[in-house]
Structure 1
Amino acid sequence: MILPSQTLLQPADRLIVGLDVSDRRSAESIVAELGDTVRVYKVGYQLGYAGGLDFVGELVRAGKRVFLDLKLHDIGNIVEKGIAGIAGLGVAMTTVHATPQVMRAAARGAEGSGLLVLAVTVLTSLSEDDLREMGHTETAAALVERRTRQAMEAGIGGIVASAAEAAAVRAIVGPDRAVVTPGIRPAGSAAGDQTRVMTPREAIAAGASHLVVGRPILDAPDRLAAARAILAEMA
């Protein structure tokens, strides 16, 4: 699946709130608090393995778009079947690690469905020192660009990268592919465990189609006000 040009998306379609909590009741409370202001939610390991996979179906039935962030990385046959199963859940987006074999299998698994498969290039928590420790000789930026080109060759619908690499990724993928950027921090927010962060305004200007925001909303004293402030900055 390929998106319409990012310029046609409304801010509420581009903000993804990460439900990074450890129990379903907390997730339900957050969704109720944010109401119609937030349309897209990310469910990852933390919530997914704590009863959140059942909650995904409820979100879909309630008209929310769900980004199921599982970062699949396995042999091709398993990835292909796993992606086909995820497509059957009715979620909008999911992730795989950006290795060529995995991406080709994921593209096959999503074929004919409305599922947008995103390739995770380099985690936003990784620094240059971390990459060297892992054995990479490329910089984060160079590694992201190489993996982005491989994702396009594999037929993947979009890319997950830090906002710092969004402009370079956008130049490679063109206007109609998703560029999803985690590590978004409004001005004055703590970076936490993220190392390559940007504000919402900067990320949109750099070419991001979607922004993933977790703690700046979840930890805010008024979550609804925090979400609205981010949407206003995106606009």
Structure 2
Amino acid sequence: MTNAVTASPVLVALDVANLSELDALLDNLQPSQCRLKVGKELYTRFGPEILNKIQARGFEVFLDLKFHDIPNTVAAAVRVAAELGVWMVNVHASGGEKMMRAAREALNEFGDRAPLLIAVTVLTSMSDSELPTLGLTASTAEEQVLLLATLAKKSGMDGVVCSAREAAMLREQLGPDFLLVTPGIRPANSAADDQTRIVTPVDAMALGSSYLVIGRPITRSENPQTALAAINKDLGIA
């Protein structure tokens, strides 16, 4: 099946534990209304075949494995992701410029078929008080995000993962074309779960986000497609 092209910025995080849950979720979502994010748990449990299963349904996939290793290893992993046909893949910006440039160069051979390549800055579950415990000198998460996002752009990344609370600052500093993928998105009245730096979908887009990662508010709702449609409606997307 040919992947659908969607105008929605929503990336649904597939936080499911087994194939029956996944099948039920895929049956309740439409590829014209969202893209899907495959993370470490799902990929580790089922391997690359899970990507084929999802893509066969017409969905574009963000492979969220956050590669962080020596440059050659990360370049090889990113190349494999491209061969698997994913729409977007990510690395950790804290892996440094050499690692990110190696990942970028690994995708050159794919031309227009190359996935978008983005870098993780600071996890949205982290607070300012945790930075010193990692030996980081930045006084705030926002300061650390700007440092890593600037390095990511210099290293050839298409964008970064960041909190929507940093989106306006990054948009101003790094320009209109740099992609900002924002987890920690929760519709109004949703539970915060394990995210500490959260924003609603409408506010996130207004702040400059390019794509919104939304998991449990959609996947754990009684009707995932209805929950997704309500978010898209709020965003002005039919």
Q: How does the TM-score come out when normalised to structure 1?
A: 0.91
Deviations 1:169-219 (A, max 9, x none): 212332222210000001111111101000000100000010000011111
Give the letter aligned to residue 26 of structure 2: V
Output the CA distance in 2 between the equivalents of 1:118 and 1:36: 22
Secondary structure (helix, strand or coil) at the match of 1:112 reads helix
Structure 2 matches for 1:179-194, cutoff 5 A? 179-194=180-195
Structure 2 matches for 1:88-127, cutoff 5 A? 88-99=83-94, 100=96, 101-113=98-110, 114-127=114-127
Output the CA distance in 2 between the equivalents of 1:52 and 1:78: 18
Deviations 1:46-104 (A, max 9, x none): 11111153121122233211000000000011011111111100000011000323212
Cross-structure match for 1:6: none
Cross-structure match for 2:163: 162
Structure 2 matches for 1:173-184, cutoff 5 A? 173-184=174-185
Secondary structure (helix, strand or coil) at the match of 2:160 reads strand
Secondary structure (helix, strand or coil) at the match of 1:35 reads coil
- State which of 12, 21, 27 in structure 2 corresponds to 1:17: 12
Output the CA distance in 2 between the equivalents of 1:10 and 1:93: 14
Cross-structure match for 1:141: 142
| Contiguous gaps of at least 5 residues in structure 2 | none
Output the CA distance in 1 between the equivalents of 2:203 and 2:6: 17
Would the aligned equivalents of 2:6 and 2:31 in 1 still touch at CA under 8 Å? no
Would the aligned equivalents of 1:24 and 1:55 in 2 still touch at CA under 8 Å? no
Q: How does the TM-score come out when normalised to structure 2?
A: 0.90
Give the % identical residues.
41
Secondary structure (helix, strand or coil) at the match of 1:50 reads helix
Cross-structure match for 1:132: 132
Output the CA distance in 1 between the equivalents of 2:199 and 2:34: 22
Output the CA distance in 1 between the equivalents of 2:135 and 2:235: 37
Cross-structure match for 1:225: 226
Output the CA distance in 2 between the equivalents of 1:84 and 1:136: 31
Would the aligned equivalents of 2:17 and 2:42 in 1 still touch at CA under 8 Å? yes
Give the letter aligned to residue 126 of structure 1: M
Would the aligned equivalents of 1:70 and 1:96 in 2 still touch at CA under 8 Å? yes
- The CA RMSD over aligned residues, in Å, is 1.6
The Cα shift of 1:25 comes to 2.3
Would the aligned equivalents of 1:162 and 1:183 in 2 still touch at CA under 8 Å? yes
Count of matched residue pairs:
226
Output the CA distance in 1 between the equivalents of 2:109 and 2:162: 26
Give the letter aligned to residue 229 of structure 1: A
- Correspondence 1:26 to 2:26: no
Secondary structure (helix, strand or coil) at the match of 1:38 reads coil
The Cα shift of 1:37 comes to 5.1
- State which of 41, 46, 63 in structure 1 corresponds to 2:36: 41
- State which of 64, 71, 81 in structure 2 corresponds to 1:86: 81
After superposition, the Cα gap between the structure-2 partners of 1:173 and 1:10, relative to the gap in structure 1 and judged at 3 Å, is: farther
After superposition, the Cα gap between the structure-2 partners of 1:200 and 1:218, relative to the gap in structure 1 and judged at 3 Å, is: same
